[in-house]
Structure 1
Amino acid sequence: MSRIIVTASTPMELSELLAATSARPVPGGAHLPLHRAEMGTTEILFAQTGIGKVNAACAATLLCERYAPDLIVNTGCGGAFAGSGLAVGDLAVADSECLADEGVETPSGWRGLDLIGIPVYEGRGERLFNRIPLDEELARRAFHRATAAGFKAVVGPFLTVSTCSGTAQRGEELLRRFPGVCENMEGGAVAQVALVYGVPCLEVRGISNMVEDRDLSRWDLKRALGEVQRFLALHLEQAAVNRPGML
């Protein structure tokens, strides 16, 4: 039986998926709330990691060590950057992740981790600093399945930050550093751990807000999470039927 692990930071980012897959709580998750479902010959574990990079990395490491997944899917909500083609309620699919606020403030401005010269990952012929690659074929298939099912989706680079951008100016600053369509707080950490363990990783998020001057009246968290979980329930089911264990 193949195994997929789906991670998200909060209960609301998994609740509809748990209901759609009839997932049941399971012991053995240590500090992580963990649920299990089966689709054909595929076992799916749903794990609530907690917010931020440290929680996400801790959870992803525990899950890789304990359950040896064939695939990790990271999900939740995200903020869309201006010019991304995304709007509130759309889906964003990551073709790469970036640790977008880890670097050095210099007299001439911000610089990435390459200025320090110490990579966050070195192996398999790669030295990676801020950008973490994801499985582009997994991203492509998810994007095409989403659009074929009637979801509005965009695929592109994601930026992971420790401080959410609450101004348009901050969003513009991040985009000057790195290209990106979506901002989040966990994806780069999950992607980095998956890379270390050699596990393919897919990240799909629902857009809850634009990266602009913070105005909660323009947010729609419920819609964003409903759309992304509805898509992932479909994606997981079709993958289990058509190509067991593969997305």
Structure 2
Amino acid sequence: MSKIGIIGAMELEVATLKKNMDTDQITKKAGMEFHEGNLKGMPVVVVQCGVGKVNAAMCVQILADLYDVTHIINTGVAGSLNPVLDIGDILVSKDAIQHDMDVTPLGYTKGQIPGLEQLAFVADEKLCKTAVEVCKKVNPDIHVTEGRVVSGDQFISSKEIKDALIAEFHPDCTEMEGASIAQAATLNNIPYVVIRAISDKADGSAQEDYPTFEKKAAEHCAKLVQEMMKEL
């Protein structure tokens, strides 16, 4: 039977899910609270991992080792790197890359992790398709598309950095956890998908846009993830 691990970096990204699930047990591990129970009839473990790639990767490993999850969904917000993606839109990951991994002096491609052949970690096709189809049903007024997520331990608010990421990786959005979740899930042979609601444009407007749209964007993502449980 499926058991879904649902990860959000910040409390607002998982608060709605925790509120609406039937919780059987809460376990604290590595500074995180793992809420185990059922959501829309599906066994789930919902957890706020904290910000950044290390927190996110640790969280996946705990979900794999202690909870034997069969799928991982990462929900949250992101900055747009695609002019077609506006604030409020939703991006479902096709794949994910760590943009701040740089071992190019040793002959690696920017973003490539030594010891691993792939540059990008490919998301699960079924999870992606389900996310897109469900989003069209529950959020019919919201534009949803599939694309590439790039992650790094920095909040992108500079046009110069944004332009460099676009030129290097041809991504659709940027955030701080998705690609490390993708890596950890891939290495554990767990199907994953990253779902991101666009909260800012990843440029100089971020300071103004982010507080305004973050909560609304997170709620849209949570609504989508919640309804996905009926289809998995």
Same-fold call, TM > 0.5? yes
State the match for 1:2 in structure 2.
2
When residues 223 and 112 of structure 1 are mapped into structure 2, their CA distance, relative to the original with a 3 A threshold, is same
Partner of 1:231: 224
The answer for the alignment partner of 2:134 in structure 1 is 145
The answer to whether structure 1 residue 118 and structure 2 residue 114 are counterparts is: yes
The 8 Å contact of residues 82 and 211 in structure 1, kept in 2 or not, is answered as: no
CA shift in 2, pair 1:72/1:215, >3 Å: closer
Whether 1:198 and 2:186 are equivalent positions in the alignment is: no
Q: Any residues of structure 2 matched to 1:1-247 within 5 Å, and which?
A: 1-23=1-23, 25-27=25-27, 29-39=29-39, 42-83=42-83, 85-104=84-103, 112=110, 118-119=114-115, 121=116, 127-128=117-118, 130-149=119-138, 150=140, 151-219=142-210, 220-236=213-229, 238-239=230-231, 246=232
Cα distance between partner residues in 1 of 2:41 and 2:135: 23
Q: 1:203 to 1:165 in 2, by over 3 A?
A: same
- The amino acid of 2:114's aligned partner reads I
Distance 2:12 2:91 in 1: 18
- How many percent of aligned residue pairs carry the same amino acid? 21
How far 1:142 sits from its partner (Å)? Answer: 1.0
In 2, distance between residues paired with 1:100 and 1:28? Answer: 31
Structure-2-length-normalised TM-score: 0.89
Q: Residues of 2 paired with 1:215 and 1:31: CA distance?
A: 29
Gaps of 5+ in 1: 122-126, 240-245
Relative to the length of structure 1, the TM-score reads 0.84
Shift of 1:40: 6.7
Higher Cα Rg, which structure: 1
Equivalent residue of 1:37, what SS?
strand
Which moves more between the two structures, 69-78 or 210-219?
210-219
**Which runs of at least 4 in structure 1 moved beyond 4 Å after TM superposition?**
none
Does structure 1 conserve the Cα–Cα contact (< 8 Å) formed by 2:99 and 2:111?
no
Gaps of 5+ in 2: none
Q: 1:111 to 1:118 in 2, by over 3 A?
A: closer
What letter corresponds to residue 197 of structure 2 in structure 1?
A: G
Letter in 1 for 2:215: K
Cα pair distance change 1:140/1:213, threshold 3 Å: same
The question of whether the paired residues in 1 share the 8 Å contact of 2:54 and 2:180 is answered with yes
Return the alpha-carbon distance in structure 1 between the equivalents of residues 52 and 45 of structure 2: 20
For the 8 Å contact 1:2–1:41, the answer to whether it is kept is: no
Q: Superposition RMSD on alpha carbons, in Å?
A: 2.1
* Preserved contact between residue 71 and residue 200 of structure 1 (Cα < 8 Å): yes
- The alpha carbon displacement at 1:77 in A equals 0.9
Paired AA for residue 189 in structure 2: G
Contact kept, 8 Å, 2:20 with 2:39, in 1: the verdict is: no
